[in-house]
Amino acid sequence: MKSEIPLDEPAPRAHTALLTSTPKGAATGRRVARQQLTTWGLNSLCAEAFHSALIIVAELAANASTHGRTPGRGFELGLSLTSVRRSRTTVLRIEVSDCRGDKRPALPDPRSCSTDAQSGRGLTLVDALADRWGTLPREPNAKTVWAELDLPEQKFEADDTA
């Protein structure tokens, strides 16, 4: 199998964590994301994207621990920064994978959400904050929910450490 690697795109900086499918695991995921994004400098270089990313991680981790929970199985949080030199951007990709491939997320119908509901708005937040988001099947019966934020490239060119 032959694959092409674009010469103008450096390898992505990535971090992955396996977490328990519990509220404590979701909280740990939020802390892991805050620490990794701070290590990459997003908190000071792109404060708006930093806070948006933390909200997205919180919502996706909460969904994985609530709706994607399978007893004895955890969920995976993945974060990556990839420079795309042609468009002069850096893409922050957030991925949360759980073991419930049969439960694919969908945006709720805004007409069905009551004003005093305690839940049901998480994916609406993800949709509003992310530049792109979606789901991917994961073998054998799992899924990955991903979201991407576009960041200005020049802010990340100097630091290629993970």
- Give pTM, 2 decimals: 0.81
Here the tokens at position 97 are 């994978």
pLDDT given for residue 1 in this prediction: 42
The predicted-structure confidence for 140-162, as pLDDT tens digits, reads as follows 888 999 999 999 765 655 444 44
63-117 pLDDT, tens per residue? Answer: 988 876 677 688 999 999 998 877 778 999 999 998 876 777 766 666 566 666 5
pLDDT score, position 66: 83
**Cα distances (Å, whole numbers) of residue 107 to 88, 96, 137, 149, 161:** 31, 17, 18, 19, 36
Q: Residue 82's Cα: distance from chain center in Å?
A: 13
Residues of the chain with pLDDT > 70, as a percent, come to 74
Chain mean pLDDT for the chain: 81
